[in-house]
Structure 1
Amino acid sequence: MKKLLYILSLVLMFNCASTQAQNYKTHRVKSGETIESIAKEYSVTPYDIYALNPDAKKGLKDNALLIIPKSKVTSQTNTTTVKELDGFKEHKVKRKETLYSLAQKYNVEQDDIKKHNPSLYSKNLRRGDRIKIPIYKTKQVVEVIETTKDYTVLPKEGKWRIAYKFGITVDELEALNPDMNAVLTIGEVIKVPNITTEEVKEIDERYSYYTVLPKEGFYRLKLKLGVEQEDLEALNPGLKESGLKSGMVLKVPYSSQLNEAEAETSSSNLSSHIKNYDAKRIAILLPFRLDRVNTDSIYDAKKQIQNDNFLRSSLDFYSGILMAVDSLKNLGISLKVDVYDTKNQLSEVSYLLNSKDLESADAVIGPLMPKNLERVASDLKRKKVPVFSPNLKDLKLSDNVFQSMPSSDLLITKIVNFVKADSTKNHVIVISDSKNVATSNALKREFGSASLISSRKDKEGKDSYYVMESDIVSKLKPGKNIIFLETENYTFVSNVTSILNSLNNEDHQIILTTTNMNGAFENDEISNYHLSNLNFHFPTVSKTYNEDDNNGFSKRYKLVYNETPNKTAVRGFDLMMDVVLRLSVSDDIYNSVNEFPLTEYVENKFAYKKHLFGGYYNDTIYVVKYQDLKIIEAK
């Protein structure tokens, strides 16, 4: 069926190309060509080609026929006339002839005649002189002006600001820059349309700006923004002619909510703000429990590492810290890193506090366990030594504690708000088992019109962890259906995702999500193809980097450790980078919270807020989704 639908879409596409031939061209793929080279040839972006040729994402085949859209960045040419010397003609000067009359007669410049008859610079033309008249041939030289140009990212500029300034969508900007990072940094050089300075739009801080979502029309924008179509067209010249496009950035009346949303997505690159290069002392407290490791036997040591979760996670986390130390040294930051084994014992933590002068540290990372961390924070509070918790959620925060792991409640709030912001959804359905009835009811309160589906029960009234196709079909509505699946049972996940995958079609578009991403969704029994097909969305404290993103940290880690870094190692790197850079960009690490409200690294971002009576908590997370068998950040 999908194959037939795809063929039908191609037929419709070719019909469109034949009836509107002026908007499309075709291209026969030659050996060695890439999407990038073809896009450059026709002055379009790879994204434009993929939009009309979805199969091209799987790779180009020789002789395949591609539909090429009309260039959105019009090529410009500059034609100049160039003359080349083609020989000479001898001329005998007659009575009353002058340089001017000879230049007119032979259609050359007077200076050209002088150039090839140097004596005329010092004497006048006389009757009987024999001079050389240059003969020129002319040709037209057509200079093609590049459709793109380099642009250096300015402070506070994110993708939407640049897209707006140059009159393109965010997707088109990303297509012009396939290697562009998720977050732009000051001074980064990217490609933008080669338009004149007069055509570049300015950002007016008296207004807000909104990025149009897929399938959004003027009616949905009116409901969401409270702005009439006529007002939008007045604020955005050219909108009336072009119509709304997904990813288009619109100027809209000022809205504090929109501006706050923008601030959420604008992170700072602290490495460009370093002002304090003084040596910094960082204390690392981790439960290695090295007293249990038999260092005399490699076999026993390996076995202990495999079986001891504390030791394994501590080593992974520390490996990331070491990579961060190397990166920070390359930035010119001098460090003294003291690493202590807490042995996961409160008595050992007390000993370290009494004997290791932790009060002189600029910052402490760890310990991992709540009681141990609370003891360290309490002891160091008097000296205002910041203590960063790498892994704990929902802590009772004293004034000097930074909880780097976002709270559990934030995960739920984030995905709920994300779904609420999707103006293209038609219906919300919540599927849950009996253990998650409270979550199901909470979602019902958030989405009043949502439909609830519970797992089937056996004769004794216990969960059987399955639903029937008819249970779901009866609740689906035409258009986009957002379906929450709340469970920790992998057989239930397998059952539901298989049914949803079979029901996902043009009439009923299904987007799967959950408030609680857990091991049930990652079980080997769960098809990643189904999750990708369902655009499975979920909130997470850290995104997953993709190896094909040219990630420098991953490459260096592999070179050093001969393996891919896991999430614990990446978190060690990200947290260490953030702590030391905050110490380096601000006179006071506590002030850095206000000066640099959001930072982002390989997989983690940090946006600390202060409790009214207590310490600091990380108030930002990611919403990610499965797409093409990868996990990427959802916009």
Structure 2
Amino acid sequence: MKKLITVIVIILGLNLSAQNYIEHKIKEGETIESISKKYLVTPYDIYALNPDAKTKFQTNTVLIIPNSKIKNEPINEESKELIGYKTHKVKRKETLYGLSKKYGVSEDDIKKANRFLYSENLKKGDKIRIPRYKTFVSKVSLKNTVKKYKVQPKEGKWRVAYKFGITVEELEALNPNMKPILQPGDELNVPNIEDNDEKPIEAEYDYYEVLPKEGFYRLKIKTGLTQEELENLNPELKESGLKAGMVLKIPATAEVTSGLTDVETTKLASKIKNYEVKKIALMLPYRLHRIDVDSVEEAKEQIKNNKLLSTILDFHVGVRMALDSAKQLGISTDLKVFDTEYQPSTVSKILSENDFSDYDAVIGPLQEKNFDRVANSLRSDRVPVIAALNKPKEVYANVFQTIPEDKLLQKAMVDFIKADSLKSKVVVIADQSHKAVSEMLKREFPTATQIYSQKSKKTGKDAHFIYPVQLENVFKPGKTIVFLETNNGAFASSVISMLNALVVDKTEIVLVTLDRNKAFEGKDIDNNNLSNLKFHYPSIRKEFDESKSKGFVSAYKEKFGVSPSKYAARGFDVTLDILLRLATDDNLYEASNEVFETEYIENKFRYTKSLYGGYANEAVYIVKYDNLRIIEAN
């Protein structure tokens, strides 16, 4: 037996020497990440040579580390020497993290200098020692297994990570300055594996990053793929199982959604466990520098006539009332309000003059460029940025998009009609600019009748009308669903009037649209006709019922003498949802990993991690006109 072990050791030694590997004995406190950084390799490299390290990572275990595939340019290596200590008296709300940032040392350095902090929390009045170091910088050349890779067309972070068998997080760790959206030709650090070990990227597939706590059941709901199908596409799953951060190959045709349109509403107020003070920033374009605060009448006039300011102030009131509601549940909030003035330069100044690294969330800004600037700036600190009143251009990993995508609203409306147990006839009436939408609906409802607006005989352009004869013999006794797709108010008004006249005896017409835009809100649109046609449409919100609404609605009416606007309700709903989620978990990401739905006054939220970035709300209402009221359709 001893001879066999000796032979194995000799063979292993020869291989290590031939391939220029080195051995590393694990010390107490070390991690795969710290060891990989020490040798300038990736965790992937270590696991590739030490598969047992995934399950058996113990002190004194010997790891094989690759050491010589490529030689990088000399790098700056810092070393430090302890030269003394500074005494610091802890103030209220100070944290180890904040002190480490303030004095430029690590949290572990502070703990080593104050051993009691390993077992006790930092308290106001504590006198602690802050180590002071002298730093030396020297250039060193190290050998490692990282090589340079040029991004190819249509390659994003997920595809590159999949190609080299690492997680997106590992790719980002190798490339701290990597852009959120990769461009062809961008140069990245990647594991220096053999070319034939690189996984091929195929156009007919997409690539999905596994989230924390995500199992095969949740992936089945999201992608429609069974465990067996996922393992066939990703054979490594059979050995490693699902792990957070790993990138999976999935068919491009798979729609990654929550798939839980009938998920039950969760009452977060009954799940509160985190009572720490929530630190929230509110960034909105109040433009207070334009308001003459010395003249009450002039200020009132500006608020009355400035639609943007009126919207912002309504939203702000909703936010403040949400803070009051949360406080009644035991949740305290430290809210800081910033006036962005609708100017990029002001936003840049706010970011440079304030440290947002310890904020739990930032709501706003409103303008697309300003929002993008804030989200991108706070991305490295993983500070959640909430798009409350707008849809952002880029949904970075730290962005929470509260307004559902238009395609999701359209799908919800189509699915609602398909779920109708009655065999209803479908008619699609569209103007010339909505032919693509009409064709999409024809694919969803193959037996549907299509009717298009007429073109002008002189110009050949859309004349935005239909002849009454086009509707003859189309509607029979029974129920007919009519999709009306247009952005033209005159066309919408004309068609709605004609349809209303056809509702007789046993002929039932239900009017629906995929996009309720301004064409359905014009002065020529008769709401009586819309009620008679039971007009249905998808919406991000529903209107509250004043006869049933209590709490926020009654408090608002008592305070201001009027019912809250949709912007006040949205400010309340978005903010209360954020605070309750933060109170049920360690942070907003953890509180949004599991797919569940919350609902408040007019809005509901069901966040799903998008394929290429942050979190998107997928909760949608289908509403309808009923006796001149707009209510949720069942």
TM-score when normalising by structure 1: 0.57
Q: 1:322 aligns with which of 295, 320, 335?
A: 320
Query: In structure 1, what residue type is equivalent to 2:617?
Result: N
CA contact (8 A) 2:278 2:360 kept: yes
Quote how far apart the aligned CAs of 1:262 are: 6.8
In the alignment, the residues of structure 2 paired with residue 523 and residue 387 of structure 1 have an alpha-carbon distance, to the nearest angstrom, of 35
Q: Which residue of 2 aligns with 1:342?
A: 340
Q: Is 2:612 the partner of 1:613?
A: yes
Q: Say if 2:448 is the partner of 1:450.
A: yes
- The superposition leaves residues 39-79 of structure 1 with CA deviations (integer Å, 9 ceiling, x where unpaired) of xxxxxxxxxxxxxxxxxxxxxxxxxxxxxxxxxxxxxxxxx
Q: 1:216-266 deviations in whole A, cap 9, x for unaligned?
A: xxxxxxxxxxxxxxxxxxxxxxxxxxxxxxxxxxxxxxxxxxxx8776341
Q: Report the CA distance between 1:464 and its aligned residue.
A: 3.3
**C-alpha distance in 2 between matches for 1:440 and 1:328:** 46
Does the alignment pair 1:365 with 2:373? Answer: no
Q: Distance in 1 between matches of 2:633 and 2:472?
A: 27
Q: 2:298 aligns with which of 294, 297, 300?
A: 300
Task: State the match for 1:632 in structure 2.
Answer: 631
* Cα pair 2:542 2:603 within 8 Å, conserved: yes
Contact 1:426 1:478 in 2 (8 A): no
Q: Which amino acid aligns with 2:314?
A: D
Equivalent residue runs for 1:210-359 within 5 Å: 264-359=262-357
Larger radius of gyration: 1
Match of 1:632, SS state, is strand
- Partner Cα distance (2:616, 2:321) in 1: 25
Whole-angstrom CA distance in 2 between matches of 1:394 and 1:482? 34
* Partner Cα separation in structure 2 for residue 526 and residue 553 of structure 1: 32
**1:121-270 mapped onto 2 (5 Å cutoff):** 264-270=262-268
1:134 maps to which residue? none
- Residue matched to 1:435: 433
In the alignment, which residue of structure 1 is the partner of 2:391? 393
The two structures, once aligned, show a CA RMSD in angstroms of 1.9
2:565 match: 566
Kept after mapping to 2: 8 A contact 1:482/1:512: yes
Number of aligned residues:
377
Q: CA deviation at 1:524?
A: 2.9
Matches within 5 A, 1:511-526: 511-526=510-525
Q: SS of the residue aligned with 1:549?
A: coil
Answer yes or no: is 1:583 the counterpart of 2:586: no
Counterpart AA for 2:452? S
Q: CA deviation at 1:506?
A: 4.2
Q: Confirm or deny: 8 A CA contact 2:360 2:587 kept in the other structure.
A: no
Give secondary structure in 2 for the equivalent of 1:328.
Answer: helix
Q: CA deviation at 1:322?
A: 1.2
Taking the aligned partners of 2:469 and 2:546, their CA distance within structure 1 comes to: 41
Hey, what does 1:375 align to over in structure 2? 373
Equivalent position SS for 2:494: helix
Question: CA offset at residue 603 of structure 1?
Answer: 0.8
- 1:453 touches 1:471 (CA, 8 Å); kept in 2? yes
The secondary structure found in structure 2 opposite 1:548 is: coil
* Residue 535 (structure 1) aligns with: 534
Name the residue aligned to 2:149. none
CA positional deviation for 1:296: 2.5
Q: Which amino acid aligns with 1:424?
A: L
Distance 1:549 1:464 in 2: 46
Matched to 1:508, the amino acid is T
The answer on whether the counterparts of 2:412 and 2:620 sit within 8 Å (CA) in structure 1 is yes
Distance in 2 between residues matched to 1:363 and 1:339, nearest whole Å: 12
| AA of the residue aligned to 1:439 | V
Separation of aligned partners in 2, 1:347 and 1:288: 15
Gaps of 5+ in 2: 1-257
Amino acid at match of 2:374: V
Task: Give the SS at the match of 1:359.
Answer: coil
Please give the alpha-carbon distance, in whole angstroms, between the structure 2 residues aligned to 1:412 and 1:527. 24
Q: Please state how far the C-alpha of 1:596 moved relative to its aligned partner.
A: 5.5
1:69-100 Cα deviation digits (max 9, x unpaired): xxxxxxxxxxxxxxxxxxxxxxxxxxxxxxxx
Q: Aligned letter for 1:473?
A: E
Contact 1:264 / 1:598 at 8 angstroms: preserved in 2?
A: no
Take 1:432 and 1:339, find their aligned partners in 2: how far apart are those partners? 46
Mapping of residues 11-160 of structure 1, within 5 Å: none
Q: 1:401: how far off?
A: 0.6
Separation of aligned partners in 2, 1:529 and 1:265: 34
Counterpart-to-counterpart distance in 2, 1:295 and 1:262 = 49
Instruction: Indicate the residue corresponding to 1:544 in structure 2.
Output: 543
CA contact (8 A) 2:485 2:514 kept: yes
Provide closer, same or farther for how the CA distance between residues 538 and 390 of structure 1 changes in structure 2, counting only shifts above 3 A: same
CA deviation string 1:564-619 (max 9, x = no partner) = 11111111000000011100011232121134521111111111111233111111
Rounded to whole Å, the distance in 1 between the matches of 2:269 and 2:456 is 59
CA distance in 1, matches of 2:311, 2:424: 43
Q: In 2 relative to 1, CA 612–490 (structure 1 residues): closer, same or farther, beyond 3 Å?
A: closer
The answer to whether residue 422 in structure 2 is matched with residue 424 in structure 1 is yes
Q: 1:389 & 1:624 partners in 2: Cα distance?
A: 23
1:309-333 residue CA offsets vs partner (Å, 9 max, x unmatched): 3322211110111111111111111
Give the match's secondary structure for 1:547: coil
Structure 1 residues 464 and 335: CA distance shift in structure 2, 3 A: same
SS of residue in 1 equivalent to 2:534: coil
CA contact (8 A) 1:571 1:603 kept: yes
Q: Which AA in structure 1 matches 2:312?
A: S
* Aligned-partner Cα distance in 2 for 1:299–1:463: 48
Distance 1:604 1:473 in 2: 41
Deviation of 1:294 (Å): 1.9
Counterpart residue identity of residue 633, structure 2: A
Structure 1, unaligned stretches of length 5 or more? Answer: 1-259
**TM-aligned CA distance change 1:263 to 1:429, over 3 Å:** closer
Give deviations 1:481-532, integer Å, cap 9, x for gaps. Answer: 1001111222222211111112123432110000110122122321111111
Matched, 1:413 2:420: no
d(CA) in 2 for partners of 1:404 and 1:617? 6
| Paired residue secondary structure (2:286) | coil
AA paired with 1:587?
A: D
The 8 Å contact of residues 479 and 507 in structure 1, kept in 2 or not, is answered as yes
Percent identity (aligned):
45
